[in-house]
Structure 1
């Protein structure tokens, strides 16, 4: 190998090293996001499993119509 070939190999090595240094943070961030997404998905599936085991699937929050009707019934009309 002559001097030009050695300089070319050094240049290629440095270029690849810089490319790895620039791409590494992005790759690590992508892997971290995938891990977080997986954890969220597993937690959601566990939460859905707990909901399926409850004895009643009815909502405990009254509907808007019920709330409105109760409010109307409790008002006392005052003649003016």
Structure 2
């Protein structure tokens, strides 16, 4: 390989690297959206397990003016 071929290879690799950096966030977003859509479809199916809602965390504090005597 001579100098011109090496420069061409470096330029091509740099171009491909920039292309990957530009396309990767979009591809990851598409995969995330598909996963969310699949989860929504599974949740809408009849017979899907009903998960109880999480209870709010209580840190031992009571809101309000009344206190037990």
Q: Shared topology, TM-score over 0.5?
A: yes
Q: Unpaired runs of 5+ in structure 1?
A: 51-80
Query: What is the CA-CA distance between 1:6 and the residue it aligns to?
Result: 0.1
Query: What is the CA-CA distance between 1:49 and the residue it aligns to?
Result: 2.6
Structure 2 counterparts to residues 1-80 of structure 1, below 5 A: 1-45=1-45, 48-49=46-47
**What is the CA–CA distance in structure 2 between the aligned matches of 1:41 and 1:27, rounded to whole Å?**
21
Q: Compare the two structures and name the one with the higher helix fraction.
A: 1
User: TM-score under structure 2 normalisation?
Assistant: 0.67
**What is the CA–CA distance in structure 1 between the aligned matches of 2:43 and 2:23, rounded to whole Å?**
31
User: TM-score under structure 1 normalisation?
Assistant: 0.58
Larger Cα-atom Rg? 1
3-state SS in 1 of match to 2:47: helix
1:12-43 per-position Cα deviation (integer Å, ceiling 9, x unaligned): 00000000000000000000000000000000
Q: Unpaired runs of 5+ in structure 2?
A: 49-69
**Larger RCO (CA within 8 A; separation ≥ 6):** 2
